[in-house]
Structure 1
Amino acid sequence: MPPPPPLPSPQPPGLERRDWIAGLERGLGIIEAFDDEHSRMTASEAGQRTGMTRTAARRYLLTLQHMGYVATDGKLFWLTPRVLRLGQSYLESARLPRIVQPFLQRVAAGTHENAYLSVLDGDEVVYIARNGPSRSMNTGYVLGARIPAQVTASGMLMLALQPPEQVAHWLATRPLKVFTSHTIAHKEQLATEFDRIRAQDWALSEQQLDLNSRGIAVPLRDRHGEVVGALNVTMPMGHESSADAAARVLPLLREIAQAMRNLV
């Protein structure tokens, strides 16, 4: 995997230079540089992935070690569980995950499937709330899971419902990663799917990330009609057809999304 692009300019739109703290940006950039393919890195590797020199990256890593967010054996650095506090702070303080829980419970009880609320963060879907039957709560996505948007029902839905110019830019600039033989790998095909999703205002994704997984999603809109997330259910393939699955869960998803409209 190539390293991410260099850190952005230290004066993003809408923020005065005197208010910009570049060190905070770089410290968070170091944390975000760790992933499944880079779970342990030297200071040089961390510097390469964040656009820093080895010396600068090492200073940030040692500071993070002092704060308890990073551990080291003297050469390699890795994240500690303390980093989870950052995500937990969001889940405990954000209003949306708390509001949606009783509604997700209704979806799960009415469909006997795992129900989720997800938001779009760049090119990924982040699952910020979930509920499901006890028999299957050990499966599916965990809270905070980040999944490429192009291969999930909720991700395709939120991408498709963006302004047309943003959708066109996304298609023109993003490579499409293939996960299974069913993953949509051609941009023309994905653009056609986006058109279908916009027209029907819901999305279906089957076997694109996992050969045994199907997802159905509807938009969660606020009182002004703005999309703030997606409500979706996941289910295993093979028990029913796509049409039967949609007929079973889509009416309830839409009902719940409408009921939440004046609350978010």
Structure 2
Amino acid sequence: MTTPAPAPPALDKRDWIAGLEKGLSVIEAFDAEHARLTASQAGQRCGLTRTAARRYLLTLAHLGYVATDGKLFWLTPRVLRLGQSYLDSARLPRTVQPFLQRVTAGTQEIAYVAVLDGDDVVYIARSGTHRNLNNGYGLGTRVQAQVTAAGLAILAMQGEAAADAWLAQRELKAFTSHSIASKERLRLELARVRAQGWALSEQQLELNYRGIAVPLHDHHGELVGALNISMPMNHESSADAVARVLPVLQETARAMRKLL
């Protein structure tokens, strides 16, 4: 049995701190396309006035999370403490790490564990081969779910109703000529993944790369993420890649389930 990610717990209005929400939204306004922002730009991206955004940015600068030249603002490495706190304190990344080394030993490919967060999958643990150690996704990398094998596996195994609810709130983006950008096509692909119990994604995000993933369940049978491999396609056929990698992923996922 699989279950969708739990909804946030109900919160009494008296316990809601709007300032915290707005401060976090200002941090999240920065991304690869918006690395440096004025107060006005930051406000536009998170629904605040220029004056309010500037106050939050100056407060974050005082705390060391933001730097500024007086006009533009940008994040500092101190922000990484927020993500590192999760990696250091969460049980899942620590538990799966030895198993990822097992996958790498059995396939000579980089192995990951990913979880779903909104539109994206987030890679929370990884291993690496000697020849590819510096390639692949870093910890904390976010990628739109539908263009990754891990995302397909998680979305499919949450069940048809949860997948439909996820799709209803999103517009699909094509990253390559192979990307599935049609909701109907994606529904068919998720049904196929759900039926076979594993996912294959080829050239959906980047040309000449493929991913293979299996769902990851805890000992109660609840879906907690996906175990996957991402690798260059080279001259290996899809069938050969699946035959080489999938049994290792499935065996490792079964072993992990006992400890999660």
Structure-1-length-normalised TM-score: 0.93
From 172, 175, 181, the equivalent of 1:176 is 172
1 or 2 for the larger relative contact order (CA 8 Å, sep ≥6)? 2
Q: Does 1:27 align with 2:23?
A: yes
Tell me the amino acid that sits aligned with residue 129 of structure 2. Answer: P
- Which residues in structure 2 correspond to 1:1-264 (within 5 Å)? 14-264=10-260
CA RMSD for the aligned pairs? 1.1
How many Å separate the matches in 1 of 2:110 and 2:162?
A: 31
Tell me the amino acid that sits aligned with residue 119 of structure 1. Answer: V
How many Å separate the matches in 2 of 1:93 and 1:224?
A: 22
Gaps of at least 5 residues in structure 2 are 1-7
Q: Percent identity?
A: 72
Contact 1:153 1:216 in 2 (8 A): yes
1:13 Cα shift?
5.8
Larger mean CA deviation between 136-145 and 160-169 belongs to: 160-169
CA deviation string 1:177-230 (max 9, x = no partner): 111111112111111100000001100000111112110000110111111010
Aligned to 2:5: none
How many Å separate the matches in 2 of 1:48 and 1:42?
A: 10
Aligned to 1:9: none
Structure-2-length-normalised TM-score: 0.95
Tell me the amino acid that sits aligned with residue 16 of structure 1. Answer: D
How many Å separate the matches in 2 of 1:172 and 1:96?
A: 29
SS at match of 1:118: strand
CA deviation string 1:8-50 (max 9, x = no partner): xxxx861112221111111111000101111111111111111
Deviation >3 Å, runs of 4+: none
Tell me the amino acid that sits aligned with residue 186 of structure 1. Answer: S
Tell me the amino acid that sits aligned with residue 254 of structure 2. Answer: Q
Gaps of at least 5 residues in structure 1 are 1-11
Tell me the amino acid that sits aligned with residue 181 of structure 2. Answer: A
How many Å separate the matches in 2 of 1:105 and 1:81?
A: 28
